[in-house]
Amino acid sequence: MHAAGALAVWDLCHTAGALPVGLDEHGVDLAVGCTYKYLNGGPGSPAYLYVRRELQDRFDSPLPGWNSHAEPFGMRPEFEAADGVLRGRVGTPDILSMLALEAALDVWDGVSMDAVRAKSLALTDFFLRCVAAYVPKGLVESLTPDAHAERGSQVALRCEGAGDVMKRLIERGVVGDFRAPDVLRFGFTPLYVSFADAERAARVLAEVLES
Ligand SMILES: *Cc1c(COP(=O)(O)O)cnc(C)c1O
């Protein structure tokens, strides 16, 4: 792709906070992501943008605003992008959401991503084993790759009536989501989801499917 002169944008929504990333290390061009999933920023927390250092002065933001202007209070008729990555800012920042996110990010201080990844894989492996042990054969089919290198921090299971099954799981405190037409998704946030949570989720799933 680079050989053809193209740049790549990576979507990190299911990556940041779930596994080691290394954007600088891998020479990534551009990346975007949300902070309300594995980074725990809460509903409405801000998105982020990564632009490789060499590209920052060429970056042409699709969402320019006063806050990305070279002179934000200059009230000039023309837009002139700020130097460097500041040109990627959007409009007025949502301060309360940023404060909540800051607190959520503080939790990561001193946390090793390798340890997070190890627990994430152990949790998803364990959940799949519990599902295989508790759910009668044939009622669910795992769509999650067995190979660790191909797995994120979630498990997707296909089953009949998945929408209704997820409603009943949520009523019982097992909160995942439903993707049409027939997929149940379970996210595992290694910082605070425990093996006991994973075992209970599989047990409640088996009870719901058998009832
Ligand atoms: C959650 C998610 C998004 C949505 O991000 P927003 O910041 O809510 O717009 C985009 N892409 C992927 C792959 C996601 O999982």
Q: Ligand 1 within 6 A of 9 CB?
A: no
Angstrom distance (rounded) from CA 33 to CA 22: 14
The string of DSSP letters for 112-158 reads -HHHHHHHHHHHHHHHHHHHHHHSPTTSEEE-S-SSGGG--SEEEEE
For residue 77, the model assigns a pLDDT of 92
- Owning domain of residue 42: 2-108
| 56 and 137 both lie in a single domain | no
Angstrom distance (rounded) from CA 22 to CA 152: 15
Domain-terminating residue out of 80, 108, 136: 108
Interval between CA 62 and ligand 1 midpoint (Å): 17
| 101 and 119 both lie in a single domain | no
| 89 and 182 both lie in a single domain | no
Angle between helices 195-210 and 113-134 (to 10 degrees): 30
| 177 and 150 both lie in a single domain | yes
What ligand 1 atom has the least distance to the C-alpha of 34?
7
CATH number at residue 203: 3.90.1150.10
Domain-terminating residue out of 108, 138, 157: 108
pTM of the predicted protein model: 0.90
| 199 and 175 both lie in a single domain | yes
Tens of each residue's pLDDT in the chain, 211 residues:
889 999 999 999 999 999 999 999 999 999 999 999 999 999 989 999 999 999 999 999 999 999 999 999 999 999 999 999 999 999 898 999 999 999 999 999 999 999 999 999 999 999 999 999 999 999 999 999 999 999 999 999 999 999 999 999 999 999 999 999 999 999 999 999 999 999 999 999 999 999 8
| 95 and 134 both lie in a single domain | no
For residue 93, the model assigns a pLDDT of 87
Contact 80, 70 (CB under 8 A): yes
Interval between CA 130 and ligand 1 midpoint (Å): 29
Q: Ligand 1 within 6 A of 11 CB?
A: yes
Q: Which residues pair with 99 in a beta bridge?
A: none
| 121 and 164 both lie in a single domain | yes
Report which residue type is found at 180: A
| 181 and 92 both lie in a single domain | no
CATH number at residue 93: 3.40.640.10
Q: Ligand 1 within 6 A of 16 CB?
A: no
How many domains would you assign to the chain? 2
| 125 and 29 both lie in a single domain | no
Comparing CA positions, the residue from 46, 38, 16, 21 lying closest to residue 191 is 38
